């Protein structure tokens, strides 16, 4: 009878301790695993940008094969939203509440990121590097959102500076998709051109879905624009613009933001017409040893994709997240993860340096991690020529 009583007491104690452990455990974290997730388009018209999701998947495969982070494996969940914001909102909530995600990373598209911004921040779930160049993710700053994707204003400033100062272009036109993202880069471009006493000779808006771009190409030709700065056209629309320009024998210097930096893809889509285009880049083409490491891993896992700029972008955001978790040691909680990210100073992976600061609700810079980009040119064979190393303006 006494032994049965002792066993019962011990069972109650064990169950109570297990209950306390369950209460204190962080969502998405076990003794052996950490669950992270990313949304983006693997299907639909924007699926070409899905290489970002695949790049992060490669990175976490490599990390796990190396033993994980402080003894825990990273379980990486991908949510395909086909670049549809309503699908993003539904899918993120469903995955968060059914699986329990410790932290989110990346996430493709400004409208898609905005669709889940309030949901994730209200639940105090850390979100690293939403892939959007607008200021909505740093202004006002949010304690749980860390922007490591370059601002569109930085894109615009670096491109304009290079066009005016290095290329000595005088007649610069801007063509952009008529949405919030497209319009947000114009102000920065105008400001930067003003430093050289220049103004855009044209600001041409294109509505999404526009199929005939001959009128826009004709206007650029009539104005004799010697450089054209592009904001946020999808690859198909850009290809149509190139075709229209070619048909009327109009040649210019095309300059575009980071979304056009995957030259292997753009060269294929445009049948080589994008050769000579200059874009900003998030990747570090000098990191040859690291690049080879991931090429070897792709061969090991039987991955046939190219290690493109977008693929590297996925690796970059994975590296930043992994570094934050690594600095947590065994204490992997969301609050500690946020604290460790705030201590990050000039962290360097495949991309440029990343730094954050302790949260200040009055200072957007505390959540702006990336302040530099490089410039690259598309070569005739679709390969990349690095024009500059990382530039900070």
Q: Is residue 144 located within the same domain as residue 162? A: no
**pLDDT bracket for residue 288 (50, 70, 90):** confident
Closest-CA residue to 349 (of 377, 331, 382, 326) = 326
For residue 253, pLDDT over 80 is answered with yes
Share above pLDDT 90 across residues of the chain, in percent, rounded to a whole number: 71
Q: Is residue 262 located within the same domain as residue 379? A: yes
DSSP string, 64-123: HHTT-BTTBEEEEEEEE-TT-HHHHHHHHHHHHHHH--SEEE--B-HHHHHHHHHHHHHT
Q: How far is CA 28 from CA 37, 68, 100, 298, in A?
A: 10, 15, 5, 27
**pLDDT bracket for residue 14 (50, 70, 90):** very low
Compute the distance between CA of residue 153 and CA of residue 155 in angstroms, rounded to an integer.
Answer: 5
**pLDDT bracket for residue 45 (50, 70, 90):** confident
For residue 85, the domain's CATH number is 3.40.50.2300
For residue 264, pLDDT over 90 is answered with no
Report the pLDDT averaged over residues 297-310.
91
Compute the distance between CA of residue 391 and CA of residue 352 in angstroms, rounded to an integer.
Answer: 9
| Sign of the CA dihedral with 194 first, then 234, 263, and 299 last | positive
Question: Structural domain tally of the chain?
Answer: 2
* DSSP 8-state symbol, 10: H
For residue 84, pLDDT over 90 is answered with yes
**pLDDT bracket for residue 10 (50, 70, 90):** low
Report the pLDDT averaged over residues 249-253.
96
Single pTM value for the model: 0.87
Is residue 323 domain-resident?
A: yes
**pLDDT bracket for residue 283 (50, 70, 90):** confident
Is residue 167 domain-resident?
A: yes
> In terms of DSSP H, where are the helices of 25-72?
51-65
**pLDDT bracket for residue 285 (50, 70, 90):** confident
Compute the distance between CA of residue 311 and CA of residue 147 in angstroms, rounded to an integer.
Answer: 19
Q: Is residue 92 located within the same domain as residue 127? A: yes
Q: Is residue 269 located within the same domain as residue 164? A: yes
Q: How far is CA 176 from CA 63, 193, 303, in A?
A: 39, 17, 35
Report the pLDDT averaged over residues 74-98.
97
Q: Is residue 133 located within the same domain as residue 190? A: no
Report the pLDDT averaged over residues 290-315.
91
Token digits for 377? 């040119």
Q: Is residue 332 located within the same domain as residue 250? A: no
Closest-CA residue to 378 (of 286, 280, 276) = 276
Is residue 1 domain-resident?
A: no
Give helix 85-99 / helix 110-122 axis angle, nearest 10°. Answer: 30
More confident residue, 5 or 17: 5
Q: Is residue 178 located within the same domain as residue 63? A: no
For residue 216, pLDDT over 90 is answered with yes
Q: Is residue 160 located within the same domain as residue 142? A: no
Instruction: Decide if 383 contacts 368 (C-beta within 8 A).
Output: no
Q: Is residue 41 located within the same domain as residue 161? A: no
Compute the distance between CA of residue 13 and CA of residue 212 in angstroms, rounded to an integer.
Answer: 73
State the residue range of the domain holding 385: 153-281+375-391
Q: Report the pLDDT value the prediction gives residue 2, as an integer from 0 to 100.
A: 56
Q: Is residue 237 located within the same domain as residue 379? A: yes
Exposed, middle or buried, 363 (CB in 10 Å: 0-12/13-18/19+)? middle
Is residue 28 domain-resident?
A: no
**pLDDT bracket for residue 24 (50, 70, 90):** very low
DSSP string, 283-327: S-TT-HHHHHHHHHHHHHTT--S---HHHHHHHHHHHHHHHHHHH
Is residue 355 domain-resident?
A: yes
Is residue 128 domain-resident?
A: yes
> In terms of DSSP H, where are the helices of 100-194?
110-122, 152-161, 180-194
Q: Report the pLDDT value the prediction gives residue 23, as an integer from 0 to 100.
A: 39
Closest-CA residue to 152 (of 139, 166, 168, 143) = 139
Compute the distance between CA of residue 312 and CA of residue 59 in angstroms, rounded to an integer.
Answer: 9
Compute the distance between CA of residue 371 and CA of residue 282 in angstroms, rounded to an integer.
Answer: 11
Average pLDDT, the chain: 90
Q: First vs last Cα of the chain: how many Å apart?
A: 79
Per-residue pLDDT reduced to its tens digit, 157-203: 999 999 999 999 999 999 988 876 777 778 889 989 999 999 999 99
Q: How far is CA 280 from CA 101, 270, 272, 288, 350, in A?
A: 32, 19, 19, 19, 15
Q: Report the pLDDT value the prediction gives residue 259, as an integer from 0 to 100.
A: 85
Give helix 180-194 / helix 152-161 axis angle, nearest 10°. Answer: 40
Is residue 25 domain-resident?
A: no
Q: Is residue 216 located within the same domain as residue 346? A: no
Exposed, middle or buried, 23 (CB in 10 Å: 0-12/13-18/19+)? exposed
Token digits for 97? 């509440």
Is residue 13 domain-resident?
A: no
Q: Is residue 146 located within the same domain as residue 157? A: no
């Amino acid at each position: 009878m006494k032994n049965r009583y002792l066993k019962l007491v011990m069972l109650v104690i064990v169950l109570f301790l297990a209950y306390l452990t369950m209460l204190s455990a962080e969502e998405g974290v076990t003794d052996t695993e950490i669950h992270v997730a990313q949304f983006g388009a693997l299907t639909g018209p924007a699926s070409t940008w899905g290489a970002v999701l695949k790049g992060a998947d490669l990175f976490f495969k490599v990390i796990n094969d190396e033993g994980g982070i402080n003894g825990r494996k990273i379980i990486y969940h991908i949510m395909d939203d086909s670049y549809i914001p309503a699908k993003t909102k539904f899918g993120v909530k469903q995955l968060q509440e059914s699986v329990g995600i410790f932290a989110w990373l990346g996430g493709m598209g400004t409208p898609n990121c905005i669709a889940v911004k309030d949901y994730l921040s209200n639940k105090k779930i850390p979100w690293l590097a939403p892939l959007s160049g607008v200021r909505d993710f740093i202004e006002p700053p949010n304690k749980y959102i860390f922007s490591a994707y370059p601002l569109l204003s930085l894109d615009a400033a670096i491109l304009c500076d290079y066009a005016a100062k290095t290329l000595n272009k005088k007649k610069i036109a801007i063509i952009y998709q008529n949405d919030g993202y497209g319009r947000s880069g114009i102000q920065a471009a105008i400001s930067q051109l003003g430093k050289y006493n220049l103004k855009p000779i044209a600001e041409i808006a294109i509505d999404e879905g526009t199929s005939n771009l001959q009128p826009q190409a004709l206007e650029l030709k009539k104005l004799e624009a010697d450089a054209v700065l592009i904001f946020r056209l999808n690859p198909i629309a850009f290809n149509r613009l190139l075709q229209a320009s070619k048909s009327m024998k109009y040649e210019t210097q095309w300059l575009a933001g980071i979304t056009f930096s995957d030259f292997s893809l753009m060269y294929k889509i445009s049948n080589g017409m994008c050769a000579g285009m200059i874009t900003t880049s998030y990747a570090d083409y000098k990191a040859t040893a690291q690049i080879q490491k991931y090429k070897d891993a792709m061969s090991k896992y039987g991955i046939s994709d190219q290690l493109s700029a977008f693929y590297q972008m996925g690796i970059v955001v994975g590296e930043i997240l992994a570094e934050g978790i690594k600095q947590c040691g065994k204490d992997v909680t969301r609050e500690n993860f946020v604290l460790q990210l705030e201590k990050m100073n000039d962290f360097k992976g495949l991309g440029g340096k990343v730094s954050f600061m302790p949260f200040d609700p009055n200072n957007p810079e505390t959540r702006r991690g990336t302040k530099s980009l490089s410039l690259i040119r598309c070569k005739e064979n679709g390969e990349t020529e690095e024009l500059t190393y990382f530039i900070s303006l």
